[in-house]
Amino acid sequence: METTVPHCQLPGCPIASGGRCLDGFEHPEADCPNYAVGPEHTIIGNAAAVASAIATTAQGHATAGTHDVDTVALHPGAPLNSEEAQQITRGSLSRVIVVAGMAESGKTSLVTCIYHKLLEHSVADYAFAGSLTLPAFEERCHHARLTSGREAPSMPRTTDVDAARFLHLQLAPETRSSDAFGGAERASSDPTGTVAVAGSAGDYRQMAARNLLITDIAGEAFRLARDSEDDARRLTILRRADRLAVLVDGAKLAKRTERQGARRDVLTLLQSLTSAGMIDGRTVVDIVVTKWDLIDTAEQREEVIAVVDEIECSASTQLCSAVAKVRLHRVAALPVRADIELGFGVDALLRMWLEESYLLAPSCGSVTAVLPLGAREYLRFGERHWARFASAAPHPA
């Protein structure tokens, strides 16, 4: 059996040699995001190397399981675990989005809607640039396709309550592919065989492809978190999230007998997460009202909209000093009516996920700022790569 040792992704951390955690965690095996056990591996420097490292890990898993020396494992394509996600966030511009909500509130529909739209065209001026979890997306989309044998689309229930898993998308700004790099096909006909790289370091942020890591957590986990701060504290991924998207089930809001319950679900969940310290002044909270097409056609449409407005107001009041920002979004991932576009509201939500970042806000710390313990991954990435952003104008928040 292979010997595993503790080690750390941060260069110079003495934990591998029996010393203390460089970040000061008393219990790094539980709290430090850089802590891992296993064979020592190198610091990941770029997304390609990230994928390579993940592929190597997959290879190890595959050969260990099958004992087939004549085959090589590919990346499994399953949702990423926390370690795999961290390898991405450390090496490239990334956004970690926690999609929260009760069962059947539309979490999976929302995420697969983004994927479905990308299958057809770029979304919110971002083009698809890669994904480590294509099979996972495809499996989730299956139930909304003719090949499922169904007559109407549905989404599979997410069952994993305990472990945080991530679906991955890499998206590139449209301006990057056409202007900054002169278009790949123009480059391909360039007799020098080189690819023009335009722009200064200040343009890097605008042109850089972004990795989107979206959680795939069962609604049951959020029901438990709503009812118990202890269970809320188990959602440790929230400490590393750029954004928390809390879904409000529009179908329930559209029914008078379920409206107030849906309202309570979102407000009590936010209350529990705040009390448990899982969201703080660096969290951007999106309140996402799903299935907006059903609200738009509800008999008490005006009543429902008033409740939605009240949810936004209550959440903003409740969280005003606790989180960075609260935003309300209205989406309809799979609207039944033909006059409502597929993925209504999803483009605007995706753009905010990709472009709004605490890291890029004017108030973000200086180059010499000392990172607090338990600092989120985007801050660590920013510190390591600050030189690239130093000349960039602050991105409007």
Q: Does the protein bind other proteins through residue 129 (CB under 8 A)?
A: yes
* The binder of other proteins chosen from 122, 175, 206, 318 (CB under 8 A): 122
Closest CA to 173 of 124, 134, 238: 124
Q: Does the protein bind other proteins through residue 135 (CB under 8 A)?
A: yes
Q: Does the protein bind other proteins through residue 76 (CB under 8 A)?
A: yes
Nearer to other proteins, 69 or 387 (CB): 69
* The binder of other proteins chosen from 60, 143, 316, 388 (CB under 8 A): 143
Tokens, residue 2: 């292979």
CA distance 287 to 312: 7
Sign of the CA dihedral with 190 first, then 192, 197, and 199 last: negative
Cα radius of gyration (the chain): 22
Tokens, residue 39: 């064979």
Instruction: Scan residues 199-238 and list those touching other proteins (CB under 8 A).
Output: 209
Sign of the CA dihedral with 343 first, then 345, 351, and 356 last: negative
CA distance 358 to 337: 37
Q: Does the protein bind other proteins through residue 334 (CB under 8 A)?
A: yes
227 phi/psi in degrees, rounded to 5: -95, -10
Residue with tokens 């509130």: 105
* The binder of other proteins chosen from 58, 88, 102, 241 (CB under 8 A): 58
Q: How many residues bind other proteins (CB under 8 A)?
A: 91
| Shortest Å, Cβ 344 to other proteins | 10
Quick one: which segment of 24-32, 131-139, 366-374, 383-391 binds other proteins (CB under 8 A)?
A: 131-139
Quick one: which segment of 20-28, 81-89, 179-187, 217-225 binds other proteins (CB under 8 A)?
A: 179-187
Tokens, residue 7: 């080690």
CA distance 36 to 14: 13
Nearer to other proteins, 187 or 305 (CB): 187
What are the distances in angstroms from CA 245 to CA 259, 279, 325? Answer: 20, 12, 12
Burial (0-12, 13-18, 19+ Cβ within 10 Å), 46:
exposed
| Shortest Å, Cβ 337 to other proteins | 5
Q: Does the protein bind other proteins through residue 121 (CB under 8 A)?
A: yes
* The binder of other proteins chosen from 95, 165, 168, 176 (CB under 8 A): 176
The amino acid at residue 172 is: A
| Shortest Å, Cβ 299 to other proteins | 8
Q: Does the protein bind other proteins through residue 118 (CB under 8 A)?
A: yes
How many Cα neighbours within 13 Å face the side chain of 382? Answer: 24
* The binder of other proteins chosen from 36, 85, 144, 237 (CB under 8 A): 144
Q: Does the protein bind other proteins through residue 128 (CB under 8 A)?
A: yes
Q: Does the protein bind other proteins through residue 163 (CB under 8 A)?
A: no
Show the site string, 279-318: x = touches other proteins by CB under 8 A, - = not: ------------x-xx--x-x-------------------
